[in-house]
Copies of this chain bind each other. A is one copy, B any other.
Amino acid sequence: MRSIYTLKKKCAHTSARTGTLFTHHGPVETPVFMPVGTQASVKALTPEELINIGAQIILGNTYHLYLRPGHKLIKSMGGLHKFMNWHRPILTDSGGFQVYSLASFRKIVEKGAIFQSHIDGSRHELTPELAIEIQEDLGSDIMMALDTCIPYPSTWEEAKEATDLTTRWAKRCLAARRDERLLLFGIVQGGMFEDLRKRHTEELLAMEFDGYALGGLSVGEPKELLFQMIELSRPMIPEDLPCYVMGVGTPEDLVECVSRGVDMFDCVMPTRNARNGMLFTSYGHIVIKNARFATDDSPIDPECTCYTCRNYSRAYLRHLFMARELLAYRLNTIHNLHYYIKLMEQMRAAIQEGEFVQFKRDFYSKRQGQEAKP
Interface residues of A, Cβ cutoff 8 Å to B: 39-41, 43-46, 68-69, 73, 76-78, 83-85, 294-295, 297, 311-313, 315-316, 318-320, 322-323, 325-327, 329-330
A44, B83: Cβ atoms under 8 Å?
no
Q: Closest Cβ of chain B: how far from A122's Cβ, in Å?
A: 15
B316, A83: Cβ atoms under 8 Å?
yes
Which chain B residue has the least Cβ–Cβ distance from A329?
B326
Q: Closest Cβ of chain B: how far from A39's Cβ, in Å?
A: 5
Q: Closest Cβ of chain B: how far from A177's Cβ, in Å?
A: 27
Query: Given A39-B325, A73-B294, A44–B330 Cβ distance below 8 Å?
Result: yes
Q: Which 9 A-B pairs have the closest CB atoms?
A: A44-B326, A69-B319, A39-B323, A41-B325, A41-B327, A85-B311, A43-B326, A83-B316, A77-B315
A76 to B44, CA, bound (A): 30
15 contacts between A and B (CB under 8 A): A39-B320, A41-B320, A41-B323, A41-B325, A43-B327, A44-B326, A69-B319, A77-B315, A78-B297, A83-B313, A83-B315, A85-B312, A326-B326, A326-B329, A326-B330
Query: Given A69-B294, A319-B69, A327–B44 Cβ distance below 8 Å?
Result: yes
Q: Which of A76, A295, A326 is packed against the most chain B CB atoms within 10 Å?
A: A326
Q: Which of A294, A322, A323, A330 is packed against the most chain B CB atoms within 10 Å?
A: A323
Query: Given A83-B315, A83-B316, A322-B68, A295–B77 Cβ distance below 8 Å?
Result: yes
Query: Given A39-B323, A326-B326, A330-B44, A315–B85 Cβ distance below 8 Å?
Result: no
Q: Closest Cβ of chain B: how far from A133's Cβ, in Å?
A: 19
Which chain B residue has the least Cβ–Cβ distance from A119?
B323
A83 to B315, CA, bound (A): 8
Chain B neighbourhood of A320, CB < 8 A: 39-41
A319, B68: Cβ atoms under 8 Å?
yes
A40, B319: Cβ atoms under 8 Å?
yes
Chain B neighbourhood of A297, CB < 8 A: 77-78
A325, B43: Cβ atoms under 8 Å?
yes
A316, B40: Cβ atoms under 8 Å?
yes
Q: Closest Cβ of chain B: how far from A222's Cβ, in Å?
A: 34
B330, A73: Cβ atoms under 8 Å?
no
A315, B39: Cβ atoms under 8 Å?
no
Q: Closest Cβ of chain B: how far from A82's Cβ, in Å?
A: 9
A329 to B330, CA, bound (A): 12
Which chain B residue has the least Cβ–Cβ distance from A326?
B44
Query: Given A77-B295, A77-B297, A326-B326, A315–B43 Cβ distance below 8 Å?
Result: no
Chain B neighbourhood of A325, CB < 8 A: 39, 41, 43
Chain B neighbourhood of A84, CB < 8 A: 316
A68 to B39, CA, bound (A): 34
A315 to B84, CA, bound (A): 10
CB contact between A315 and one of B41, B68, B73, B311 (< 8 Å): that residue? B73
Q: Which of A46, A84, A85 is packed against the most chain B CB atoms within 10 Å?
A: A46
Q: Closest Cβ of chain B: how far from A355's Cβ, in Å?
A: 36
